[in-house]
Homo-oligomer: A and B are copies of this chain.
Amino acid sequence: MTAETSGPARAAGGGEPLVILAAGGSVPIEVATAARAAGRDILVIGLEGDVDDGIKAFPHALAKWGQIGRIEQLVRGHGARELVLIGTVARRPDFGSMAVDFGTLRYLPRLIKAMFGGDDAVLAQFARYIEERGFRIVGVHDVAPELVARAGPVAGPAPEGGTLADAMLAFEAARAIGLIDAGQAAVAVGRRVVALEAAEGTDAMLERVAAIRAGGRVKWTGRAGVLAKRAKPQQDLRLDMPAIGPRTVEAVADAGLAGIVIEAGSVLMAERGEMVALAERSGTFVFAVPGSWSGASGEPAG
């Protein structure tokens, strides 16, 4: 066991204890900041190798992949009943070098699978395991609702005309692939679906859109077309929330798309301030609509 706890496990705040099980990226830190501001008494358990150094600003501990027994001890030690699972996992861990403790052996197969997302059934199984142990998994929308988009313009103007039509088509296409549990994002340009996301992820899909444009396979000039991102209809947002961030905006602008439509209440905005600034600077709109949006009025009706 190389993980260590630094700082008092029970830190300032005094509110209801919360454990943030943090993988990579800045979002776990944003969630910790928001939850602390909301008065929660937090402990961040960072997954070694994935977690960002920024968690050192919070009461924290590190755990390795697979140390479920240790994680459970830490959660109990913090007196927490609620956990948030958040952050990105770059790639599957190296099984050879993975620390596995006694608490893990039974659950290892489902934990590993659960950590790689995409399969809602396995994630649900993981949640079931956690809840069997007497804990409750909560979502970012529960502990840091300000990180989740609300219906309306997030950056730039609401889409109109052909851009509105592309937004509707992309949003509908994203729904169709969500229904088959394949992906969360789609791109439409000129009233044609040009890309659908599956295992490659949104960033790789946007690189493909840029290549499709450069290759002349679908032609458009100036900024046109829309990326849509939304939750799968059956998605458990506590376990796996779609996200956009500054990198998404950058990739959308690089691909020559006009903007992004996201599902209100279901899509996390990572580094929102930076993302909005970048969107305004690059002339990229970001618009949130309810899942039931038909786009007909152009208004976020929900």
A positions within 8 Å CB-CB of B? 91-92, 118-119, 172-173, 176-177, 179-183, 186-187, 192-201, 204, 208, 211-212, 215-219
Contacts and interface: CB of A to CB of B under 8 A. Distances in A.
Given A200-B195, A208-B200, A219 B92 contact: yes
A199 B169 CA distance: 15
A216 B177 contact: no
18 contacts: A91-B215, A118-B192, A119-B192, A176-B177, A176-B179, A176-B182, A177-B196, A181-B192, A181-B193, A182-B196, A183-B193, A193-B198, A193-B199, A195-B199, A196-B197, A200-B211, A200-B212, A204-B208
Nearest to A187: B198
A205 B186 CA distance: 15
Interface centre among A193, A199, A204 (most CB of B within 10 A): A199
Identical subunits present: 2
**A-B pairs with lowest CB-CB distance, top 5:** A182-B193, A196-B196, A194-B199, A199-B218, A195-B198
Contacts of A204: 208
Nearest to A121: B191
A92 B198 contact: no
Contacts of A196: 177, 182-183, 196-198
Contacts of A217: 91, 199-201
Contacts of A201: 217
Contacts of A215: 91
Nearest to A183: B196
Contact of A193 (B180, B212, B216): B180
A205 to B, nearest CB: 9
A76 to B, nearest CB: 33
A294 to B, nearest CB: 15
A275 to B, nearest CB: 24
Nearest to A189: B199
Contacts of A216: 91-92
Contacts of A181: 192-193
A192 B200 CA distance: 12
A229 to B, nearest CB: 15
A51 to B, nearest CB: 20
Nearest to A174: B180
